[in-house]
Amino acid sequence: MRSCCDCAMSKYDSSLCTLYANRGDIVIIKKSADAINAYRKLDVMMSALSEIDDRLRKMRELAIQAAVDAESDDDRAVLDVEFQKLKGEIDEISHLAQSDTMMV
């Protein structure tokens, strides 16, 4: 908190100076809270992106494996089921991250 000596209004009214200094502290506290909330949202989104990246890597591996001529149609069907499951997980992670950032 600033002392009255820091404020140009101090020579006129010290109570006004104190009120001005207190309002400044409130603004600083609000900006700090906003920064903390922004950091929390960023953390949620970074975690979600990391999880999505893991799923995308697995999906790429499945696509490469399915493209190999040695795989039978039954094997490709099994790979597709796993691929679709990962796709659903990505959608779920995305929705959860969006709802979590709204709550922060």
Which of 91, 95, 93 lies closest to 47, judged by CA?
Answer: 93
Contact status, residue 16 vs residue 9, Cβ threshold 8 Å: yes
Per-residue pLDDT tens digits of the chain, which is 104 residues long: 444 455 554 455 555 555 555 666 666 667 787 888 888 889 999 999 999 999 999 999 999 999 987 888 899 999 999 999 999 999 999 999 988 777 65
pTM of the full structure: 0.66
pLDDT of 28 = 67
Q: Which amino acid is at 49?
A: L
Q: Spell out the domain ranges in the chain.
A: 4-103
pLDDT of 27 = 65
91-95, long-range: CB < 8 A, 24+ apart = 93/48, 93/51, 93/52, 93/55, 94/48, 94/52
Which of 88, 100, 83 lies closest to 47, judged by CA?
Answer: 100
